[in-house]
Amino acid sequence: MQPKCCILKTKIPYQKIHPTSSTMLAPDMVDGLLSGSHCAIAGVSIKGLFALLVLTLLLPPGAMTSSKPITCHKTCLCASNIVSCSKMNLTGIPMALPRYTAVLDLSFNQISKLKAEWTPVKLSKLHSLLLSHNGLTFLSSEAFLYVTWLRYLDLSSNGLKILEEFIFEPLEHLEVLLLYNNHISQIDRTAFSGLNSLQKLYLSQNQVKRFPLELVKERNRLEKLTLLDVSTNRVKLLPIQELQVLPAWIKNGLYFHNNPLPCSCELYSMLARWHLLELSSATDFRDDHTCLLPGTQKEKVLTLELNKVHLNCSAVTIIGEEAYLEQVLNLGCDTRQRDVLKSWVLPGNVQVSSGNQSARVLGDGSLQIGPLTLEDSGVYTCYAVGDSLNETLYVTVEVHNTTQAGGHEGMKTAYTTLVGCLASAVMVLIYLYLTPCRCFCCSSQGLDKRALGDSLHSSTVSVSPTHEDTGPEGGGGGGAFDKPPFNRHVAFPDPKGLIEQNGRLSPCGEEEEEWQEEDRGKQGQRRKSDVESLSSVCSDTPIVV
């Protein structure tokens, strides 16, 4: 019986197969060739083995695989999943990019615009895109829609001037963004919105005038941002109060040197404190932190030397915590790294244990101590262990020998005393200027109009009642008009115009000899009264009754 493979072999005459032919084979011809190869393997036919070799050469590339492979552009170099098109004088991005591209280097070319259709297909494996040194001046708002898995984007050393709103929003996985050495002068407040994974942002060597506080401010900041470089720009004003309250792990990577900042003691105090805490942003660029002195010359000086000559700012020292008896105090361990393991040691090298009721470590790594006693004063040590750095921080606590409530009671006492003084002053004013109605206001008294004719001097200057004397010498009329009501006012009478004082010649004026001779025979007691009257009238001190 003839083998089946030999029967199939006879269906494809050998003479009809030519090695250089590009004609597609029919299915029955392919079956015949495969059957021939089976016979060759079995040793029945050698012609079948040759037919299999010819079939391999004639089949198109896509016939043996399910998808058509995409080769690199002829001007680029490929190494595994890295595509390098650097320094190729390209004016546009090559279209035929492999889908498996993970790193795409297009630096040092002449690509001036990054359009929305620069890649027609999604490059879901692309995590690094390099476009530096291209003269890039335009970024489409849809330029990153097909590369949403980017983690590293280099747009440095280009000609970008404006960062429009939500320009980087699709890049939710981006970790590093390089924008230094451009001409950026305007940054929309929403330009970096959506970059929830961003860790490092380089904006140095631009023309930025406004410090992007929204990137680091509480409730608005990018949660994972640990480095913000705005050095060598045109920033003239720093939000010093807001920057001082930031965590140390943000301040450690906040670079703002080489900006035209005006010199002030507030700027010096902030930077000096950062330097004492050994923050990298202050220590690494100590000689680059400069400011401009007031005046027309705008002299540039080192910020950390303002306390020596220029502004005579007060020296900065690390101040510990002050507390009171029975108070509960939280001590923070403000480290230069985020998410580190923290442990505390109490004064006297005592470890914090779970059995200690007066001290316990909270979830954020801070130490809570209290109610405080005098024995709680001392130095508390925080040990922070991180992946790249270990830190040791010291916090000095001084407990005052008083309670905080006692201080409030002192304030209350002072407040009560002040209120009492004000009330007394009001009562005195009421007594002086708001006295009851005079007797001449009452219709039942029937005062003589002559009672209102008392001289100004007798009603405002005299200490005694106006009509004290009776008889012809005193000039009084006696009766009910001898004691008019007091007039409690202050007056400064003119000594030269003072003619009479209680019916006598003014003692401050010129005394006539007749009055002196007549008065020598009077009573000694009257003489004494005149002396007292003289001292009271001629005094420069106003009389208040």
**Segment 489-512, tens digit of pLDDT:** 444 445 544 444 444 444 444 444
pLDDT for the residue 16: 38
Give the three-class secondary structure for 331. strand
Tens digits of per-residue pLDDT, 418-451? Answer: 888 888 888 888 888 876 655 555 554 544 444 4
Average pLDDT over residues 22-40: 40
* CA–CA separation, 412 and 439 (whole Å): 45
pLDDT(318) > 90: no
Percent share of the chain, pLDDT over 70: 64
pLDDT for the residue 353: 81
Give the three-class secondary structure for 420. helix
Average pLDDT over residues 52-75: 44
pLDDT for the residue 54: 41
How many beta carbons lie within 10 A of that of residue 92, not counting itself?
13
pLDDT for the residue 180: 98
Q: Which amino acid is at 147?
A: V
Helix 47-58 and helix 27-42, axial crossing angle in degrees, nearest 10: 140
pLDDT for the residue 427: 86
pLDDT for the residue 532: 45
Instruction: At 181, list the tokens.
Output: 């050495």
* CA–CA separation, 208 and 239 (whole Å): 15
Label residue 314 exposed, middle or buried (CB < 10 Å: 0-12, 13-18, 19+).
exposed
* CA–CA separation, 320 and 2 (whole Å): 104
In sequence order, the 6+-apart residues with CB closer than 8 A to the CB of 212 are: 187, 189, 192, 203, 228, 230
* Confidence category of residue 20, pLDDT binned at 50, 70, 90: very low
pLDDT for the residue 319: 80
Instruction: At 257, list the tokens.
Output: 């040197």
* Confidence category of residue 454, pLDDT binned at 50, 70, 90: very low
Residue 128 has phi, psi (to 5 degrees) of: -140, 125
Average pLDDT over residues 140-159: 95
Q: Which of 373, 370, 369 minimizes the C-alpha distance to 401?
A: 373
Residue 188 has phi, psi (to 5 degrees) of: -65, 145
Strands (E) across 88-139 are located at 103-105, 113-114, 128-130, 138-139
List alpha helices for 277-315, DSSP H: 280-283
Contact 70, 47 (CB under 8 A): no
Q: What angle do CA 255, 199, 382 make, to 5 degrees?
A: 75
Label residue 108 exposed, middle or buried (CB < 10 Å: 0-12, 13-18, 19+).
middle
Sign of CA pseudo-dihedral 244, 250, 252, 253: negative
* Residue corresponding to tokens 């050393």: 157
262 DSSP 8-state letter: B
Task: Tell me the whole-structure pTM to 2 decimals.
Answer: 0.62
Instruction: At 58, list the tokens.
Output: 């004639």
How many beta carbons lie within 10 A of that of residue 123, not counting itself?
20
* CA–CA separation, 80 and 294 (whole Å): 59
Query: Minimum mean pLDDT among 20-34, 109-123, 182-196, 515-529: which range?
Result: 20-34
How many beta carbons lie within 10 A of that of residue 519, not counting itself?
14
* CA–CA separation, 43 and 255 (whole Å): 79
In the beta sheet, which residues pair with residue 342? 384
pLDDT(166) > 70: yes
Contact 211, 187 (CB under 8 A): no
On the question of a cis peptide bond just before residue 371, with omega within 30 degrees of 0, the verdict is yes
Helix/strand/coil (H, E, C) string of 171-233? CCCCCEEECCCCCCCEECCCCCCCCCCCCEEECCCCCCCCCCHHHCCCCCCCCCCCEEECCCC
Phi-psi group of 244: left, alpha or beta (phi > 0 → left; psi -120 to 50 → alpha; rest → beta): alpha
In sequence order, the 6+-apart residues with CB closer than 8 A to the CB of 436 are: none
Average pLDDT over residues 466-481: 45
150 DSSP 8-state letter: -
pLDDT for the residue 101: 93
pLDDT for the residue 411: 58
pLDDT for the residue 412: 60
In the beta sheet, which residues pair with residue 380? 395
* Residue corresponding to tokens 């990137």: 215
CA atoms within 13 A on the CB side of 429: 6
* Confidence category of residue 530, pLDDT binned at 50, 70, 90: very low
pLDDT for the residue 143: 93
pLDDT(187) > 80: yes
Contact 231, 208 (CB under 8 A): no
* Residue corresponding to tokens 């929830």: 196
In sequence order, the 6+-apart residues with CB closer than 8 A to the CB of 116 are: 140, 141, 142, 143, 145
* Residue corresponding to tokens 């001290």: 359
